[in-house]
Structure 1
Amino acid sequence: MSDRVFKAVVNDSKTKMERENAKGDKRTYSPSYQTEVSGNNYNALLGKKIGDDVSGINIHDDMNGYTLRITGGSDKTGTPMRPDLHGAGVNAVLVGPGTGYKGKRYVRKNGKVYRYKYDGIRRRRNLRGNTISVDTRQINLTVVDKGARALGDIFGAGESSDE
């Protein structure tokens, strides 16, 4: 029964943090936290769709008071979920640039490789529907309403372990 687990990636878009990139420039980002969802919480998420709001207690026991919105996910093979496809199955869809397809081609020119984005480029891709099913392995969530405790405290971010 180890199959019955979701990996939940919770993004706190309301909190902004800073870090330096390789060039030394300061960049802001929103922290993300990962946790596994199993048991009764697993069953509570089955049948939910992209865009639905769920209680934070369904994701982690300490997330009381949080409201989270489902923004996407993927199945066990890495096939992304798409919000405009209804159902839980896999569909072969002709798509342009967007979720599941970047729409770029690599072209060799003068001994170099360039990445072009042609107008009107489309490709048939296998994409999963917007409903969470038993085949879903990862769920992406974003914070709508915050609870009493900070997510960094709940997931233990910032703790350092000296060995």
Structure 2
Amino acid sequence: MLSQTLSLPSPAKLNLFLYITGRRENGYHELQTLFQFLEHGDEMQFSANSSGLVTVSPELEGVPLESNLIWKAAQALKERTDCRLGADIHIDKILPMGGGIGGGSSNAATTLVALNHLWELNLSAEELAEIGLKLGADVPVFVQGFAAFAEGVGEQLAKVEPKRSGIWWFVRM
């Protein structure tokens, strides 16, 4: 098992619409939105190890390891399962941080899914999404891996099949 390496895409997402319907005491917004995945994103490579340590390379400029969502996802998974294994994680980062397209959340979700497989933890997608929600409101949709209508803070998901006709333009303001 420990010699196994896994490479996975970590896709971007768009909110095709977003309605803020309220605000929770913890600061999260209640919302309704439609998440659509893009075929564009980061690439991540994972290798399990027996050291118990999790490394992430390259370091993200201005982001201490303990604040990196990739590392935090791995640690949350270890804590939830009492896993004593480690991992070396490499990311080819092309999605902008803070760009509103879910780069960090996607990276966290991809980490949960990959390490669940490599460490043979056998957690369900729902259990991974529950862990992911503690890391960020968008993480569960990336764990589930399908376009979805979302409510709550983004954790209540209903699978949808958006139309794929025409050209989409993305404008960041």
The question of a shared fold, defined as TM-score above 0.5 by the shorter chain, is answered with: no
Q: Between Structure 1 and Structure 2, which shows a larger proportion of strand residues?
A: 1
Return the TM-score normalized by structure 2: 0.25
Mark the structure with the bigger radius of gyration: 1
